Amino acid sequence: MKEQEGVIKYRLSHTQQPITPALSLTEINAWRTVLFRLGLIGQRADKYDNLGFGNISQRLKPGSSQFIISGTQTGHIEHLKPEHYCLITEAEPEKNRIQSLGLCQPSSESLTHASVYAQSPAIQAVIHVHSPEIWRHTEALNLPHTLADIPYGTVEMALAVEQLFQSGNLRQISLFTMLGHEDGVVTFGGTLQSAAQELINHLSLALGIEQ
């Protein structure tokens, strides 16, 4: 049976309150709009059960385990507002647990984002998109990937991400695909710009294969 998109699978402890106005969302929101306009984040009536897809996050500050992430089912909105983001205050991927606050609940992929951040303090941004072109050319592009039997947003996915880092496959590239999550691609970097550029570079390579 086809897995439903957008379902939060982790144990969530969420506090319904605004995130502090002191947190700047200018950069993350600008890049999120770019990805929306490229169709890498969004919502399509003909795909993914007509549910929103894609999310973006940014570590709160160097060394912190906390991060800002776009909220669940905000894919259809071109320009997000502060109420469309939330703060992950504590994350334990190995225990399937997320603690957050905000006026919306965090993305269903928050556990995967948390797992990526846990691999290195140098990682300051994580982006998850749906790119059919990159995803279907995983083998041709020799991309690191999680296996087809590992569903998104689960402890199994978090462990698979950790294993990808431990294997050394992500030393030369900061992008991987999730074969168990249709069209799912994750990229990361020391800045939102570097993470987005890695994604766009691989999209161009994938499109080149199809020409």
pLDDT of residue 9: 75
What average pLDDT does this structure show over 155-182?
Answer: 93
What average pLDDT does this structure show over 129-146?
Answer: 97
pLDDT of residue 149: 93
Q: Answer with the residue of higher pLDDT: 5 or 115.
A: 115
Question: Is the predicted pLDDT of residue 169 greater than 70, yes or no?
Answer: yes
Can you point out the beta strands (E) in the chain? 11-16, 55-59, 67-70, 85-92, 97-102, 125-130, 145-146, 175-178, 184-189
Name all domains of the chain by residue range, CATH numbers in brackets: 11-210 (3.40.225.10)
Question: pLDDT grade, residue 39 (50/70/90)?
Answer: very high
What average pLDDT does this structure show over 143-152?
Answer: 93
What is the spatial distance between Cα 113 and Cα 124, in angstroms, rounded to a whole number?
11
What average pLDDT does this structure show over 90-109?
Answer: 90
**What single string gives the DSSP state of each residue in 165-208?**
HHHTTTSS--EEEETTSTTEEEEEESSHHHHHHHHHHHHHHHHH
Q: Do residues 129 and 191 make contact, with C-beta atoms less than 8 angstroms apart?
A: no
Question: Is the predicted pLDDT of residue 67 greater than 80, yes or no?
Answer: yes
What average pLDDT does this structure show over 148-155?
Answer: 87
Bridge-based pairing state of the strands 67-70 and 85-92: antiparallel
Collect all residues with Cβ–Cβ distance below 8 Å to 83 and sequence separation of at least 6.
Answer: 18, 102, 103, 104
Global pTM reads 0.93
